[in-house]
Amino acid sequence: MSSNCALKELAALIGESARVDHPLGAMTTYRVGGPAGVFVRLETPADIERVVAGLSQVPVPVLVLGAGSNILVADEGFEGLVVALGPGFADMELSSEIVHAGGAVPLPRLARRSAAYGLTGFEWAVGVPGWLGGAVAMNAGGHGSEMATVIVRCGVVDLCTGHEMVLSSADLELGYRHSGLHPWHVVIWAELALNRGDRAESEALISGIVRWRRENQPGGSNAGSVFKNPPGSSAGHLIEQAGLKGHRIGSAMISCKHANFIQADGAAVPVTSSALIDLAREVVAERAGIVLETEVKMVGFTAEQDRQPAR
């Protein structure tokens, strides 16, 4: 069975919520990229059950999409199933020192709500434009902190088996921008342990973080930090030292404000951004002897494309 026929069969099995050849670009901060073979927005546990049932009969590659703020989709798109949580998984419950929130809750909203409630320890997340589920899956962080410092446990569904798991922080195997979760695992809720604090102090800290980001990081179409910081160094500093700050290929440019960001301003963004990523990795390896690892998720790019030199 061809992949196209398999995807159509999967969509039929899932039902009305499934969309074939659904555009992904508008669901990412780059605003470009090809379609998902099949796309489903999960609003209820029943939606998850239908996806699991479909995948049990027609197994295809799976991608869980969050806010789309850390992803670059190739023009060819993703030849598989893309799922995203809907508003049905965006509830928040705050108690004395515990926050329980759905996987689709935006981190900036959760940071502001917890601060307003008088809780401290999550202010840093106001500067991370992602959703809670994705933040758990990649151990997102910023301003000297990360999810590993606050998460207690989370609820995860394996879309390939239907197995529901409650995983502790230790179970998640959290590392720098890494967890032990797989692409077919969807985080539907997470529980965070914060501390009692002073609302005014927390909100002042949040304002300072927002101001710092506006002053030091670019806006516009980008996917945040492109590379992980290597031990004891900064990816942005290494790229700048390599003379690539402001370097442009077609419609994409290494930011003049922060060299670990790639800004886009044209229709050929996927291929030109990918070329800049390859170029930065190649030049930094040559000049500093450090091989940079991408933090941004590259979707739909072949291994052969990734190896092509770019100038």
Domain ranges of the chain: 3-85, 90-215, 219-307
Eight-class DSSP state of 238: H
Residue 95 is a catalytic residue: no
Tokens 């059950």 — which residue? Answer: 49
CATH number 3.30.43.10 given to 3-85: yes
Of the listed 123, 146, 191, 295, which one is catalytic? 295
Quick one: average pLDDT of 17-24?
96
Whole-number percent of the chain with pLDDT over 90? 88
Report how far residue 73's alpha carbon sits from residue 79's, in angstroms, rounded to the nearest whole number. 11
User: For residue 178, what are the β-bridge partners?
Assistant: 175
Residue 307 reports pLDDT greater than 50: no
Residue 233 reports pLDDT greater than 50: yes
pLDDT in tens, 182-220: 999 999 999 999 999 999 999 999 999 999 999 999 988
Residue 203 is a catalytic residue: no
Question: What's the pTM value of the predicted model, to 2 decimals?
Answer: 0.91
Taking the alpha carbons of 134, 109, 19, 302 in that order, is the dihedral positive or negative?
negative
pLDDT in tens, 164-179: 999 999 999 999 999 9
Report how far residue 201's alpha carbon sits from residue 129's, in angstroms, rounded to the nearest whole number. 22
pLDDT in tens, 30-52: 888 999 999 999 999 999 999 99
Of the listed 225, 251, 255, 273, which one is catalytic? 225
3-state secondary structure 131-184: EHHHHHHHCCEECCEEHHHCEEEEEEEECCCCCEEEEECCCCCCECCECCCCCC
pLDDT at 266: 66
pLDDT in tens, 43-79: 999 999 999 999 999 999 999 999 999 999 999 999 9
Residue 8 reports pLDDT greater than 70: yes
Of the listed 19, 79, 177, 282, which one is catalytic? 177
Span 90-215 CATH architecture: 2-Layer Sandwich (3.30)
User: For residue 168, what are the β-bridge partners?
Assistant: 153
Residue 2 is a catalytic residue: no
Q: Minimal CA–CA distance to 269: which of 310, 227, 222?
A: 222
β-pair type (71-73, 145-146): unpaired
Span 219-307 CATH architecture: Alpha-Beta Complex (3.90)
Eight-class DSSP state of 118: T
